[in-house]
Structure 1
Amino acid sequence: MSEYRNCAGVSRRDCLQFGLSAMAGVGLTSLLRLQAEASPTVARKGTAKSCVLIWMDGGPTHFETFDPKPDAPAEIRGEFEPISTKLPGVQFSQHMTRLAGMLDQFSVIRSIRHDQGNHGAGNHYMMTGSPPRIPVGCGAFVSFHPSMGSVAAYELGKDNGLPNYFSIPSMSRSGGPNFLGAKYAPFVVGGDPNSADFRVRDVALPQGLTEDHFNRRTDLRKLVDRIERINDPAAGDPVGGLDEYYRQGYDLITSRTAQAAFDIQRESEKVRDAYGRNGFGQRALLARRLVEAGVPFITINDGGWDHHADIFPTLRKRLPDWDNTVATLISDLNDRGLLESTLVVALGEFGRTPAISTLNGQKGAGRDHWANAMSVLIAGGGTPGGVIVGSTDRKGYTAKERVLSPENFVSTIYTKLGIDPGKIVYTPQGRPTHLVSDATTIRELA
């Protein structure tokens, strides 16, 4: 499978390397201290138990998806025609056909804007609800604050043999736990679930090793490993943290729940075909299976939305499949009685420029980075259907009505998950930090 790269030259391999480095640092004892010192979690009011975040890495165009501008000049409106949706007076771009016909089952935010117009900064802001503390480059992998997925794992995590935060097929560049520690980093599921030999690492015993032999080796390790643990929480004992990693790895390998959740071959051919026989479609199906297994947060890191060139021929091929998969995921969750308790969210770090241009002499028209306007799809978790929040101006230059911030968006996701966005958590150094500095939610989506 080919790797998607954005204009900064960042690949899935880079994301994986960053994910490993982000897992280093805080020990288990310090994490336990943090959890003990943190202010009590407010009683759950949200209806969502899980969230599937479809991260459209690179910055998806709002013009060619959920906010077409048919009255704008040709050099702005582009090559695609608008189509009617189920909501009178609301139009999507022409390849959003299935989603247009089921707008009563989800909502779209058209008026989020911010001031971070490069991949590194924009990714961090939308993934965490916290702007970078210092200027960062377009290709930067930055983590100044815990991601939504890590916070969900920290607040909602269960001890059922499965990690509480997954990222498929790689980790987004700002999807890590920061000061929450490695325990709340995502478990990355690489590979292509559409492949006949798809197999998730670490959820099965190595070939040739029986369960009895595995248990004996585990007992032997415990016998040999007699290093005294430091019980002082302030010491940040790294051995204690290593014990936690071993425990999680052992639980994953021996978990029947994990093995069942990843066995996508159990799905009928009809269901697999409905999601789409491609990598994105089968990852969405895998995400639904993880929701059924009780995982609080799953990110589908869907790269390749950085369309500085060839935007129209590329999206003609891509959008019909993407539209079908997202529509199928929402419908399938609804049919299974899971949509009320599952958020489905699709967005990237920003939108695209109104002016169609080329980058560095590349052939084929494209759109550049644009943080003044973007579109976000949100379904489930008690979200009303058929709601369009805010608007952009006639040419799509900027959010005009109900201008919202990344803080408002992230606070809304937390609230729907029953997490208090204004909660104060503590760093290992004892510094108090709000999950979100502005805990104001988007009232139309309550």
Structure 2
Amino acid sequence: MGQALSRGPARETLPPTPAWATTMATPRNCESSMTRRDCLRLGLGALMGGGLVESLRARGLAAAPGSRPSSCILVWMDGGPSHYETFDPKPDAPAEIRGEFRPIETSVPGIRFAQPMTRLAAIADKLAIIRSIRHDQGNHGAGNHYMITGAPPRIPVGCGAFVSFHPSMGAVTAHERGASGGLPPYFSMPSMTRSGGPNFLGAKYAPFVVPDDPNSSRFRVRDVAPPGGLEVARVEDRRGLRERLDRFRRFADRATGDPALALDEYYHQGYELMASPMAQRAFDISQEDPRVRDMYGRHSFGQRCLLARRLVEAGVPFITLNEGGWDHHVSLFDGFRKRMPRFEGAVAALIQDLDRRGLLESTLVVVLGEFGRTPKINKDAGRDHWSNAMSVLMAGCGTPGGQVVGATDAQGYAASDRILSPENFVATIYAKLGIDPGKILYTPSGRPTFLVSDPTPIRELMG
């Protein structure tokens, strides 16, 4: 079946729909109910019951062959951080626009950040700051979707909506890359972003959510250890029993299409994950040098950054750190003073630690939210939603550091130089992860869909 799909003015004739496109299972929508239990957590506590089987049926864990490929740690500042108070200060603007923080010098002459960004300013030579991404989705639901997927919502959505019209970057990376060592290829901590799901790719590419606090002395990833009172040896005995049962002709005859065959595969994968030394090591954060843990900060976000580094070392290609609380309609400056030192200090520690370990060249660190904030400070000492301007930090994976890409106007109202789109941003992420941003995917019904409608990466970031 030949089909045509338009990307702007040019048209491209597509090859026949592959057979697998018509045999994929009907996808589940993970955004419709965003509790942590609803987001497809791997329930190894239900190893001998149906919970794990259904979860693993949805995920289909697979190890990526070959040596370590590139990975991405996406630090998502949910709510939309102010560009004025982070990477695009406007000291010459009127007081009602420039705000309370002064600009500070960075390690790169001529580049200045806002006052709260002290530790990141010290390593600006490793960072690229994009100041000129803009879009037209000024509410949280739509803005989140656009920046996380590279596709604008198809219909108007509410500000608090959890929507999925297109697969997220994490889900696409999981689909295209897989992971090594039996670990899931896509993690999100402590929750999934509003539009972080897989859409038509299917629920097996939803993120593995780790909601628990790695800063707690009681931190334990339930899905990577046997249930209480059940040792791995006993699980192995039950696994052997299943394997002996599977030798019966009814189960061995694949022509019958018996669902028990598929169930057995997921039981096997569940055992492999639980028994994986790599998984055990990755999550055993207590084995880290206390000085390294101190460097990241002994708080929830700092220790999640450290855990993200450990997951990269274990071969996981995409990790999202979903950090809410940046929707500063009220008391923006007080909020930044209280929170930003820990936050930006942990991000700086992550980048420096990756660099010291030789991992920064293969690990992309990205920090952003769904949009920036309004130029004029409101009556509640806050700023409101503003999608005409925003700032994005990018480091690693061959990204040339010590640069600023694009600019906003003198008062920060809008991107004015080297104007870029969310599509350009997402295409850059894919290109750095070895995924063709111009690729065409197929829905279960066979409908062709561009991964990114404009697959042009940001050239200054490609090295």
> Shared fold by TM > 0.5?
yes
SS at 1:287 equivalent: helix
Judged with a 3 Å threshold, the aligned counterparts in structure 2 of structure 1 residues 110 and 239 are, in CA distance, closer, same or farther, namely farther
2:440 alignment partner, one of 424, 432, 438: 424
Matched, 1:216 2:260: no
| Separation of aligned partners in 1, 2:108 and 2:165 | 40
Judged with a 3 Å threshold, the aligned counterparts in structure 2 of structure 1 residues 440 and 211 are, in CA distance, closer, same or farther, namely same
Aligned counterpart, 2:323 = 302
Q: What is the number of equivalent residue pairs in this alignment? A: 414
1:25 positional shift: 11
Aligned counterpart, 2:176 = 155
| Separation of aligned partners in 1, 2:265 and 2:200 | 17
Judged with a 3 Å threshold, the aligned counterparts in structure 2 of structure 1 residues 317 and 149 are, in CA distance, closer, same or farther, namely same
| Separation of aligned partners in 1, 2:53 and 2:334 | 42
Aligned counterpart, 1:324 = 345
Aligned counterpart, 2:19 = none
Aligned counterpart, 2:429 = 413
Judged with a 3 Å threshold, the aligned counterparts in structure 2 of structure 1 residues 64 and 329 are, in CA distance, closer, same or farther, namely same
1:190 alignment partner, one of 211, 218, 224: 211
CA contact (8 A) 1:169 1:300 kept: yes
Structure showing greater Rg? 2
Aligned counterpart, 1:51 = 72
Report the more deviating stretch, 307-316 or 149-158.
149-158
TM-score (norm 2): 0.83
Gaps of 5+ in 2: 1-30, 42-51
CA contact (8 A) 1:341 1:381 kept: yes
Aligned counterpart, 2:126 = 105
Where does 1:33-48 land on structure 2 (aligned, <5 Å)? none
1:317 positional shift: 1.0
1:384 alignment partner, one of 400, 407, 413: 400
SS at 1:273 equivalent: helix
Aligned counterpart, 1:40 = none
SS at 1:14 equivalent: coil
Where does 1:88-237 land on structure 2 (aligned, <5 Å)? 88-221=109-242
Aligned counterpart, 2:36 = 16
Q: What letter matches 2:391 in structure 1?
A: S
Identity of aligned residues (%): 66
| Separation of aligned partners in 1, 2:277 and 2:118 | 39
Q: Which structure would you say has the larger RCO, counting Cα contacts within 8 Å and 6 or more residues apart?
A: 1
Q: What letter matches 1:349 in structure 2?
A: E
TM-score (norm 1): 0.86
Aligned counterpart, 2:307 = 286
| Separation of aligned partners in 1, 2:304 and 2:40 | 21
Deviations 1:394-428 (A, max 9, x none): 11111000110000000000001111000111111
CA contact (8 A) 1:31 1:180 kept: no
Judged with a 3 Å threshold, the aligned counterparts in structure 2 of structure 1 residues 142 and 285 are, in CA distance, closer, same or farther, namely same
Judged with a 3 Å threshold, the aligned counterparts in structure 2 of structure 1 residues 135 and 273 are, in CA distance, closer, same or farther, namely same
CA contact (8 A) 1:24 1:182 kept: no
Deviations 1:53-102 (A, max 9, x none): 00111111111100011111111111111111122222111011111121
SS at 2:224 equivalent: coil
1:18 positional shift: 5.5
Matched, 1:366 2:382: yes
Gaps of 5+ in 1: 1-10, 36-43, 359-363
| Separation of aligned partners in 2, 1:82 and 1:238 | 62
SS at 1:345 equivalent: strand
Aligned counterpart, 2:46 = none
Report the more deviating stretch, 155-164 or 323-332.
155-164
SS at 1:146 equivalent: coil
Aligned counterpart, 1:38 = none
1:244 positional shift: 5.4
Judged with a 3 Å threshold, the aligned counterparts in structure 2 of structure 1 residues 266 and 405 are, in CA distance, closer, same or farther, namely same
| Separation of aligned partners in 1, 2:324 and 2:35 | 11
| Separation of aligned partners in 2, 1:263 and 1:27 | 23
CA contact (8 A) 1:27 1:181 kept: no
| Separation of aligned partners in 2, 1:430 and 1:238 | 24
Judged with a 3 Å threshold, the aligned counterparts in structure 2 of structure 1 residues 31 and 18 are, in CA distance, closer, same or farther, namely closer
